[in-house]
């Protein structure tokens, strides 16, 4: 956890910029609902300038993943350097990493980028993408321990129910209580703030919870819970990607984590409600990122 204070952070405008520069490091979805394509829409919906570095080219659609092509890691590093040699980055969202080699390449770049920056480091949100909604694996099973070794760098991680179970080495939680116990374990293991997302539970209310690690005195700040009504829709492809990108953007704009989560939950509810106006694919369709913008 590189940021000592979990609740406040200077806005990107502290050095004169009012529109933060946000980078997504993730895989692709040619149907535009998940991965990098979702992240860029989410950055734009939250008034941030979006940039992207591709970790994996994924031949997928709303029905599932067909194939994955991994560019050489030297080329991944070249993409990362091309951005950071030129642009002041205010926030980074990391999604699909795929392999241990990709994880160590991104980690080395991040460590060099931030070695002297202290609290001035970009916001880092890690969505520990492992398995797609369709059930297809997006992270090699043998890379799970490498992903565990990456997480302490993050300001916030945003696992869903199955991802939190894999990180905690447990069965997927069936209740919010089980989810929170796993989140506490993961928060303490990696000393990182966890947003435990409840989308995969079946309650009529979807609850996401910010779970802090214990501090040096063994004290854990109280949970902050964010509830919203469950929207009945099959258009949930890319919700996790979109939420993590939105949180990175709002935090880089200077909102606290609780303010960011509250705002993103409201936005996600309207994006899911408006998704039926889209007609994209036969499987799990995308959300409507711009529902609040396209009012006519
Ligand atoms: N049906 C729903 N109605 C309202 N909010 C939802 C619904 N499903 C998910 N959300 C919200 O969307 C976000 C993503 O939740 P979820 O737990 O589904 O993550 P995820 O599994 O990573 O997403 P993805 O479907 O992209 O894999 C959370 O903020 C959650 O509260
Ligand atoms: C490149 C990429 N990253 C992440 C996801 C997860 O999204 P979902 O669980 O909604 O399929 C995905 N399908 N593809």
Q: How confident is the model at residue 8 (pLDDT cuts 50, 70, 90)?
A: very low
Q: How confident is the model at residue 263 (pLDDT cuts 50, 70, 90)?
A: very high
Averaged pLDDT, 105-116: 96
- For ligand 2, is residue 132 a contact (CB within 6 Å)? yes
165: left (phi over 0), alpha (psi -120 to 50) or beta: alpha
- For ligand 1, is residue 271 a contact (CB within 6 Å)? no
Nearest CA to ligand 1 atom 9: 199
Nearest CA to ligand 1 atom 8: 199
Convert the pLDDT of each residue in 124-148 to its tens digit: 999 999 988 778 889 998 999 999 9
Convert the pLDDT of each residue in 194-244 to its tens digit: 999 999 998 999 999 999 999 999 999 999 999 999 999 999 999 999 999
Q: How confident is the model at residue 5 (pLDDT cuts 50, 70, 90)?
A: very low
When mean pLDDT is compared across 49-53, 97-101, 161-165, 292-296, the lowest value belongs to 292-296
The DSSP bridge pattern shows strands 64-69 and 91-94 to be unpaired
Ligand 2 atom with the shortest distance to the CA of 236: 10
Whether residue 1 has pLDDT greater than 70 = no
Q: Does domain 19-277 have CATH number 3.40.1190.20?
A: yes
Whether residue 287 has pLDDT greater than 80 = yes
User: What's the Rg (C-alpha) of the chain?
Assistant: 18
Long-range contacts of 202-206 (CB under 8 A, 24+ apart): 203/176, 203/230, 204/229, 204/230, 205/229, 205/230, 206/230
CA of 211 to the centre of ligand 2 (A): 24
Token pair recorded at residue 133: 């909604």
Query: Maximum CA pair distance of the chain?
Result: 54
Q: Which of the residues 238, 265, 283, 295 is marked catalytic?
A: 238
Instruction: Compute φ and ψ for 160, nearest 5 degrees.
Output: -90, -175
Ligand 2 atom with the shortest distance to the CA of 29: 1
Rounded to two decimals, the pTM is: 0.95
What is residue 82's predicted lDDT score, i.e. its pLDDT? 98
CA of 18 to the centre of ligand 2 (A): 30
- Distance in angstroms (rounded) separating the CA atoms of residues 128 and 96: 7
Domain ranges of the chain: 19-277
């Amino acid at each position: 956890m590189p940021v000592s204070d979990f609740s406040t952070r200077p806005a990107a405008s502290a050095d004169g910029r009012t529109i933060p520069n946000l980078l997504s490091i993730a895989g692709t979805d040619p149907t535009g609902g998940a991965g990098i394509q979702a992240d860029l829409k989410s950055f734009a919906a939250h008034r941030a300038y979006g940039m992207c570095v591709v970790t994996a080219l994924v031949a997928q659609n709303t029905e599932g993943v067909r194939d994955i092509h991994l560019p050489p890691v030297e080329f991944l590093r070249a993409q990362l350097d091309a951005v950071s040699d030129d642009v002041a980055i205010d926030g980074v969202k990391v999604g699909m990493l795929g392999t241990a080699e990709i994880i160590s390449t991104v980690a080395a770049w991040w460590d060099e980028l931030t070695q002297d920056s202290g609290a001035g480091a970009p916001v880092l949100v890690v969505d520990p993408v492992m398995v797609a909604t369709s059930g297809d694996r997006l992270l090699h099973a043998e890379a799970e321990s490498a992903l565990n070794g990456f997480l302490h760098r993050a300001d916030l991680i945003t696992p869903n129910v199955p991802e939190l179970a894999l990180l905690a080495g447990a069965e997927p939680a069936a209740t919010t209580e089980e989810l929170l116990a796993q989140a506490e374990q993961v928060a303490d293991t990696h000393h990182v703030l966890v947003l435990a997302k409840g989308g995969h539970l079946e309650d009529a209310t979807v609850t996401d919870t910010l779970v802090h690690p214990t501090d040096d005195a063994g004290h854990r700040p109280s949970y902050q819970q964010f509830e919203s009504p469950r929207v009945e829709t099959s258009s949930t492809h890319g919700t996790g990607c979109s939420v993590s990108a939105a949180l990175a953007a709002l935090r880089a704009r200077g909102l606290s984590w609780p303010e960011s989560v509250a705002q993103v939950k409201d936005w996600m509810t309207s994006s899911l409600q408006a998704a039926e106006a889209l007609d994209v694919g036969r499987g799990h369709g995308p959300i409507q990122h711009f529902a609040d913008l396209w009012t006519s």
